[in-house]
Amino acid sequence: MITAENNTDASTETSLSWLDPIILGVLIFDGFLCAVLSVLFLPTHLGTTAFPISILVAATANLVLVIAARTVTTPGMAALPLAGWIVGFLVCMVGGPGGDVLVLSSPLTFLLLVGAIAPAAVFLFKVAINRLATLSSQ
C-alpha cells in the first residue's frame, strides 16, 4: 500500500513538472513588482516622521520569493526573483516623462537597496555553503 502511494506521488510530480518554468516566471515578475512597490512606498510617513516600512516588507518578500523559487528550480536559478527585484529597482531609477524619477537620492534609497537584497543573498549564500559542505563530506 505504501508503494502505491509513492507511485501516485511520483506520477503527479512528473505530470506537473511543466508548470515549474511558469511558476519561476511568476516569481521573477513578483520580484520586479515588489521592487516597484517598495520604491513607491519608500517615502511613507507616520505623522511627520519618516516610516520606511517598505524596506522591511521588501526584505521579507524577497526572502520568501527566493525560498519559493528553490522549490521549483535548481539552486543556481533560485536567485532569479532577486534579479527581477534588481531590474525593477533599476527601472525605477530611469527618469520618466518630464524628468520625473521615482528613486530619490537619499539614505533611505541605499537602505532599501541593501536591506531588500541582503536577507535573500545571505540565505542563498548559506544554502551554497551547506551544499558545498555536503558535497565535500561525501
Strands (E), the chain: 45-46, 49-50
User: Is pLDDT of 5 > 80?
Assistant: no
In the chain, what are the domain boundaries?
4-134
Residue-level pLDDT at 101: 78
Residue found by looking up cell 545571505 in the block: 122
Do 112 and 52 form a contact (C-beta atoms < 8 A)?
Answer: yes
Q: How does the average pLDDT of the chain come out, rounded? A: 84
Do 38 and 55 form a contact (C-beta atoms < 8 A)?
Answer: yes
pTM of the predicted structure, to 2 decimals: 0.81
User: Is pLDDT of 4 > 50?
Assistant: no
Condensed to tens digits (0 to 9), the pLDDT of residues 113-123 reads: 999 999 999 99
85: exposed, middle or buried (Cβ count in 10 Å: 0-12, 13-18, 19+): buried
50 beta partners: 45
The whole-number average pLDDT for the span 82-98 is: 89
